[in-house]
Structure 1
Amino acid sequence: MKLFNLPDLGEGLQEAEIVTWQVKPGDSVQQGQLLLSVETAKAIVEIPSPEAGIIAKCYGEDGDIVQVGDPLVEFRIESGTATAPPPQPKREDPGAVVGEVKSGAEVIRERPSEISNRAGGGIKATPAVRALAKQLDVDLSIVTPTGPKDTVTAADIQRVAKILAEVGPMELLRGVRRSMARSMAQAHAEVVPVTLFDVVDIQHWKTGEDVTVRLIRAILAACEAEPALNAWYDAHAIGRRLLKKVHLGIATDTPDGLFVPVISDVGQYSAGQLREQLDQIKQAVKERSIAPDRLRGNTFTLSNFGTIAGRHANPVVVPPTVAILGAGHSYDAVVAVNGEPHVHRVLPLSLTFDHRAVTGGEAGRFLGVLMQSLSE
């Protein structure tokens, strides 16, 4: 037998979700024939057979998440000699105990353990309580301890188990949503975010004005005037790279999660061409046919969340970029014109920047030029 493992899919991706198998045990396949499709954080990838042969075993089912290097397919070699599949790594459970699990009514006399493990590193709980948590499928890290010296008790486990039973089963995040969760966690851990809020008067805009295109043109003008916000920050080197071309990421909401397709060198396009680019990437995202290279390399991000709802927000800067502009829902407001009150249409703006790489002055000047562009 010969194993074929999940290959390196590039882009630093370490896992993928099996979408669908195209083969089954007993099938004869040719080199290059499609074996299965997997979904990564970037796109759906088709994996071909590395050689011709007969499929002896398929590892994993539709919906399973596999890591790079995990076995996918076992091929039967010509000799027909069967070998046992490689042993899977054992997942040790430090909370497991031998013996009967005590009920919450019993007094637990064991010494609380603070052994670090995936279910609750550094959490004070006796072995019996850890076993009860395992039995009731309760993650110790989400339990608020009420015992002496912040020790988790059996009653704490039972309380949380009852709550979890009421809210329903766990829904694991997959594909794009899984990637989004990791990106947001990275951003929260690394970025020092600051957000500037303002509104710009757009009363003079023509009926049917393309808001997204106007925002893109304004971003270009602001990046030219204040290049510090069109940059990548390197946390390890503690340095930044200012970029001459603006590769704009457009935050796009879908039922599968948040995509950020990129329009490379956005400044090369006219207003009409920008609308064509926006329509193309929107359709490609909807069909899940967008190329992986169109989901990376952005230097600045635009989130036009106002098309859904909301005026202001705290958009999240995802490393290595250092800034993101959010445009809220436009509304009518009373403004002063030559000392007289008038009702004008205004557009709320939210500019978040990474204060490690961008100063408040740089961000303020950027926003000022952007608003001036939108006012013209």
Structure 2
Amino acid sequence: MAQVLEFKLPDLGEGLTEAEIVRWLVQVGDVVAVDQPVVEVETAKAMVEVPCPYGGVVTARFGEEGTELPVGAPLLTVAVGETAAEPEGSGNVLVGYGTQAPAARRRRVRGPAAGTAAQNGQAKQPGHAPATRMPEPAAASPARAGAPVTTPAQGPVPVISPLVRRLARDNGLDLRQLVGSGPEGLILRADVEGALRARETPTTAPQPTGRAPVASPSGSGARVPLKGIRGAVADKLSRSRREIPDATCWVDADATDLMRARTAMNAVGGPKISLLALLARICTAALARFPELNSFVDTEAREIVRLDQVHLGFAAQTDRGLVVPVVRDAHVRDAESLTAEFARLTEAARAGTLTPGELTGGTFTLNNYGVFGVDGSTPIINHPEAAMLGVGRIVPKPWVHEGELAARQVVQLSLTFDHRVCDGGTAGGFLRYVADCVEHPTVLLRTL
């Protein structure tokens, strides 16, 4: 006799509490193998393909594409054979997280609404909450049976995350008046956003208690939710602006000899060396001389933590927004190794397959905004790092070279730094050393 097992959204680590269903990879009725990817989800860190630890026939899916589910919510159910009476997790790794043995089966409770989900066999019903319970004989919750669930007047309100609670508080929304669409009435971000949209009027935006009125712009427009990777970036940039007293210094540098050196390297055969890799090599050499900038501030301990290893982040623009992949141990890599790793991570970023481990743990960031045709910028530091080096486009400009005016390949370099970790003298020394290496690549020979 087949047994129906429920597979829940696993703990994705990194403090993540929810994920958005991007694309289902299986249909109801499909046969799946153990550890076969069944759904693609987007978290605040990355796109992840989630493998199912069971093998059998898919009997139900929970949640439409575009739905946000909390960790622990049902994803799908699988009917397995008699041999799976005592199932265990496969033990294989889910993008660095690992699949887990299933929790104990729910106690079956007979009730008047029992069997409604089981008869359907698939939880993709219009108007129903995405995190429906598993389709076996069980009592439907009042929200699913048609009776609204209201939050008790006393006691804690079940909210998926502090961010959702803050969203409601900032907009003067009473969470006790909401009906959560998550498991056990859990209030999701979508519930709060829906309530805010419902109370809007054509002339004014929602008026939070104690906040100044905000005029609504005339005309209609599109709303883009700040969620997933884009939402995580927004939160991180806002935190950086709130917590880090940053300052920026910049300098123009003659990159003609650096460009010629790269051309000479690539002319002798072997893997081609990218300009980004050469700039990264210059960064790691500069950080060895100015380790203050490879650090972060522990605000609770009121300490500056200087780091021994350089994990170099670099800004990459994708269809899903800005991401910052991290090259591990950049300080021990040569130009060829850096080129290969930049290429691998860039491709993964564009494909949306970067893992959370490849997007976290950076100690210093290199931002090559010159690829967008921009000369200069004052970037926001990638919290909790202490500095970011910006590189503008390299273009021919008039330049005094060896006492004469000449057309040279000029680039603007900018350094945004946390003024708590160093003063302007240290930051200026770092940037000047970077500029010297750009203008005279042979300077790097001292550190090879």
Shared fold (TM-score, shorter chain, > 0.5): yes
8 Å contact 2:43–2:229 — kept in the other structure? yes
Give the conservation status (yes or no) of the 8 Å contact 1:15–1:40: yes
Question: In the aligned structure 2, how far is the partner of 1:81 from the partner of 1:150?
Answer: 49
- Alpha carbons of structure 1 residues 258 and 248: separation in structure 2 relative to 1, 3 Å: same
Q: Secondary structure of the equivalent of 2:257?
A: coil
Residue of structure 1 in register with 2:15 after alignment:
12
Partners of 1:317 and 1:364 lie apart in 2 by: 17
CA contact (8 A) 1:303 1:325 kept: yes
Amino acid of the residue matched to residue 314 of structure 1? Answer: T
Which of 24, 29, 42 matches 1:39? 42
**Does 2:361 align with 1:297?**
yes
Report 1:81-160 matches (<5 A): 81-85=137-141, 117-118=168-169, 120-121=171-172, 134-136=199-201, 139-140=205-206, 152=213, 160=216
> Which shifted more, 83-92 or 189-198?
83-92
Q: Which residue of 2 aligns with 1:321?
A: 385
**Deviation by residue 1:276-333 (Cα, 9 ceiling, x = unmatched):** 2222222222233334322222111101110112111111112221111010012333
From 347, 350, 375, give the equivalent of 1:311: 375
Deviations 1:44-89 (A, max 9, x none): 2233445578766533210112222444346797975322148599
Is contact 1:20-1:36 (8 Å) kept?
yes
Find the aligned partners of 1:284 and 1:213 in 2 and give their Cα distance: 17
**Number of residue pairs aligned between Structure 1 and Structure 2:** 333
Q: Which has the higher strand share?
A: 1
**Segment of structure 1 superposing worse, 223-232 or 70-79:** 70-79
CA distance in 2, matches of 1:237, 1:258: 31
CA distance in 2, matches of 1:29, 1:275: 39
CA 1:287–1:278: 2 relative to 1, 3 Å? same
Distance 1:90 1:360, change over 3 A: farther
Q: Of the candidates 415, 437, 448, which is equivalent to residue 351 of structure 1? A: 415
Structure 2 Cα separation of the partners of residues 328 and 6 of structure 1: 43
**Residues in 1 aligned to 2:50 and 2:407: alpha-carbon distance in whole angstroms:** 59
Extract unaligned runs of 5+ from structure 1.
93-115, 123-129, 144-148
Residue 372 (structure 1) shift: 1.6
Q: Is contact 1:133–1:139 with CA below 8 Å preserved after alignment?
A: no
In the other structure, the counterpart of 1:171 is 224
Distance across 1 between alignment mates of 2:257 and 2:351: 37
Q: Distance in 2 between matches of 1:5 and 1:176?
A: 22
Alpha-carbon distance change, 58 to 205 in structure 1, aligned in 2, over 3 angstroms:
closer
What is the rounded CA distance, in whole Å, between the counterparts of 1:205 and 1:222 in structure 2?
16
Displacement of 1:226 in angstroms is: 0.5
Do structure 1's residue 257 and structure 2's residue 321 form an aligned pair?
Answer: yes
Deviation of the 1:340 alpha carbon: 4.2
Contact 1:221 1:373 in 2 (8 A): no
1:203-282 equivalence runs, <5 A? 203-207=256-260, 209=263, 210-282=274-346
Matched, 1:190 2:190: no
Change (3 A) 1:224 1:31: closer
The answer (yes or no) to whether the contact 1:187–1:317 under 8 Å persists in 2 is yes
3-state DSSP class of the match of 2:407? strand
Segment of structure 1 superposing worse, 31-40 or 175-184: 31-40
**Alignment gaps of 5+ in structure 2:** 80-104, 109-135, 152-166, 174-194, 264-273, 441-448
Q: Call closer, same or farther: CA 1:288–1:75 in 2, change over 3 Å.
A: closer
Contact 2:414/2:431 (8 A) holds in 1: no
Q: Is the 8 A contact 1:218 1:371 kept in 2?
A: no
Where 1:364 maps in the other structure, the secondary structure is helix
Change (3 A) 1:25 1:255: closer
CA distance in 1, matches of 2:142, 2:5: 11
The Cα shift of 1:151 comes to: 6.4
Which residue of 2 is the match for residue 374 of structure 1?
438
Query: TM-score scaled to structure 2, two decimals?
Result: 0.64
Contact 2:394 2:409 in 1 (8 A): yes
Deviation at 1:180, TM superposition (A): 1.5
Q: Shift of residue 337 of structure 1?
A: 4.2
Give the TM-score, by structure 1 length.
Answer: 0.75
Counterpart position of 2:252: 199
Aligned to 1:21: 24
**1:66 and 2:69 correspond:** yes
